[in-house]
Chain A
Amino acid sequence: MTTITSPAPASGAAEAKSAAGRAPLRRGLLRWLFVAPALAYMALFFGYPLVRNIVMSFQHYTPKTYFTGEAPFNGLDNWRAVFANELFTDALWHTALFTVGSLLGQFTIGLTLAVFFSRRFRLSGFVRAVLLLPWLVPMVVSAVVWRRILDQDHGMLNTALHAVGLVPQDGVPWLSSPGVALLSAVLVNIWIGIPFNMVILYGGLQEIPRELYEAASLDGSGPWRTFRSITLPMLRPVITVVLVLGFMSTVKILDLILALTSGGPADSTQTLGTVTYQLSFLQLDFGQGAVVGNVLILISAVFAVLYLRANRADFGKGK
């Protein structure tokens, strides 16, 4: 509105106002043409799925639906079925363990490495760059490589651990025992997430003014005290962002688990992401799949709010 009215003469009559207003109006529309295609695309590929998933969660889908196009509404049937399904409750629990475990590991190791690489020494930049490789490789590929390493009989990890006497002859069933598989998936995901945490936290560390450390050193502050009283508080905004982004990408994980364990053994690594996939694309019950998807969105939405609050300062910037 401001772009349209502000160039118009303040004292002008109605006709003069509309004549002067037409050109800026056209210019305003032309400007919107720059943004419109991306907006339309985002509405189709993000907005539509969000709405469609809510609708679908109240519809009865069968494989037949794809021939007849008929998906009758069935009230809360899908929701009741999903919430009564033990697999869903298990998946909820696995997702929580997987997410918390992954974040703790990724963040702690990422921060330690970021602090370490903040020291000045030869090859620091080179090593930091090469460490990014695990994050850049497709997740399915990483998962497949780990599947080989963690194999109980021929995997390199058991061979090595047995050689130094840490595990018995038959090794640890990393991926083949329900009690261990989720932990293995967490360890692999920690490995994948370390580079991302390290890079962002390293960037945050570089922003902390050197003078603060010099002052602390003059006051006789030891390394741990300096870390707790300067590094951590100054790094807080970056830490929030890194944890929230990590949460968003971990809670919905699918690639890693499908390629590593396919949700097994005995559903011990099923998460909300894999259950959605299984319900929709393997059992072809898109209605129930949509219910789990909506639960996933709900959980993400809570953290999206956290993310936006953490980013609030950034919204004031720019034009």
Chain B
Amino acid sequence: MNRPMQRPASLLLMRSVWNTAAALLILAVLLFPVYWMLNTALQPESSIAGTEWFPVSPSLKNFDTAISTQGGSLLTSFVVALGAVVVCLALAAPAAYGLAQFGLRGGQGIVFATLITQMVPGIVIANALYSAYAQLDLVNSYLGLILADASLGLPFAVVLLRAFMVSIPSEVVEAAMVDGANRFTAFVRIVLPMSRNALITAGLFTFLFAWSDFMFALTLNTTDDVKPITLGIYQFVGAHVSDWGAVMATAVLSAVPAAILLVVAQKYIAAGITGGSVK
């Protein structure tokens, strides 16, 4: 206890500066690919003679190409991801509340099963879903993809929301019910507003899972009618492998939700990663 306190303040300050410098170096190394994506996207001539280290004369020309060829896919991704969030939260919030507060018989088993579902390989689901979708006419449909993508976030959302709702005192809901609300209106008026932060976290992650989905987009669509951006960039790379500037501009655009999330919703992210997976 004594030894660290005897260190002069200047030494501690030096340490802090060195640590910060080391942290920035780590950041530069690990985020280099992200820089390179942005750098390549800003250089319209990059495809011919390799890429310059810095975008000396930056241009948005690649972004024009990206938006004109992939704009529709970005919109599709947005619609599908938003739809998945709605489906996922509408199913997960009541279920999480039920599992957290009702002491249902077999509730423990359901939580257990929910954890297990997170381990089913997606390609196995796609394998079986495709034949079911073919019979139900859901291949190449927004609804089909939204429902499939919602499955990426649902177990996560149930586990995360339940962990939060366990801590809501049951007296709060009972008080509302004494005032004449039924259990469902009490849930909507009292529990949901109280769970706002947990709902935002679950929603953000479901959006991100659905936005990042490639496998369902690849397997449940046989035409270009419903083509999310992940599928778009995959096909784009195959067809236009010489126009790397435009490919990288598309990559930048498809990374935008992640970037926005990091800036705007930073406090929800760490909570989401640890909350949803460990508990």
Contact = CB atoms under 8 A, between A and B. Distances in A.
Interface of A: 1-3, 30-35, 37-39, 41-42, 45-46, 48-50, 52-53, 56, 66, 69, 113, 116-117, 119-124, 127, 129-134, 136-142, 144-149, 154, 156, 159, 191, 194, 196, 199-200, 203, 214, 217-218, 238, 241, 245, 248, 251-252, 254-255, 258-259, 273, 276-277, 280-281, 286, 289-290, 293-294, 296-297, 300-301, 303-304, 307-308, 311, 314-315, 317-319
5 contacts: A35-B102, A38-B94, A131-B30, A254-B123, A281-B130
Nearest to A301: B119
B178 interface: no
Interface in B215-249: 215, 218-219, 229-230, 233-234, 237, 244, 247-248
Interface string B156-173: 001000110010000000
Interface residues of B, number: 104
Contacts of B261: 136
Main secondary structure of the interface of B (DSSP, over half): helix
B19 A38 contact: no
Contacts of A281: 130, 218-219
B92 A140 contact: no
Main secondary structure of the interface of A (DSSP, over half): helix
Interface string B19-38: 11011101100110110110
Interface centre among A30, A124, A293 (most CB of B within 10 A): A293
Contact of A296 (B26, B51, B123, B208): B123
B120 A300 contact: yes
Interface in B130-153: 130-132, 134-135, 147-148, 150-151
A133 B121 contact: no
A167 to B, nearest CB: 15
A203 B230 contact: no
B41 to A, nearest CB: 10
A133 B51 contact: no
B124 A116 contact: no
Q: 10 tightest CB-CB pairs across the interface, nearest first?
A: A38-B95, A34-B98, A136-B258, A49-B128, A121-B19, A252-B121, A52-B128, A138-B212, A35-B98, A34-B94
Contact of B125 (A45, A122, A147): A45
B54 interface: no
A317 B108 CA distance: 10
Interface string B100-136: 1111110110111111111111111101111110110
A137 B255 contact: yes
B32 to A, nearest CB: 8
B270 interface: yes
Given A41-B91, A49-B129, A53-B124, A140 B116 contact: no
Interface in B160-204: 162-163, 166, 183, 187
A1 B105 contact: yes
A134 B31 contact: yes
Given A41-B151, A311-B115, A314-B279, 13 more contacts: A30-B183, A34-B94, A35-B94, A37-B90, A48-B132, A53-B128, A113-B26, A131-B31, A134-B30, A217-B4, A254-B122, A286-B131, A318-B162
Contacts of A138: 211-212, 214, 229-230, 254-255, 258
A141 B251 contact: yes
Nearest to B273: A199
Contacts of B123: 252, 254, 273, 276-277, 293, 296
B249 to A, nearest CB: 12
Contact of B23 (A39, A124, A245, A259): A124
Contact of B1 (A41, A214, A301): A214
Nearest to B114: A42
Contacts of A121: 15-17, 19-20, 23
Nearest to A146: B33
B278 A122 contact: no
Interface string B41-83: 0000000001100000000000000000000000000000000
Contacts of B120: 46, 49-50, 297, 300
A289 B147 CA distance: 23
A139 to B, nearest CB: 6
Contacts of A146: 33
Contact of B269 (A41, A129, A218, A297): A129
Contact of A120 (B16, B158, B163, B279): B16
Interface in B263-278: 266, 269-270, 273-274, 277-278
B3 interface: yes
A34 B97 contact: yes
A271 B220 CA distance: 21
Given A138-B255, A277-B219, A297 B277 contact: no
Contact of B33 (A46, A119, A191): A191
Nearest to A119: B19
B40 interface: yes
A160 to B, nearest CB: 9
A149 B36 contact: yes
B275 to A, nearest CB: 10
A318 B261 CA distance: 30
A293 B127 contact: yes
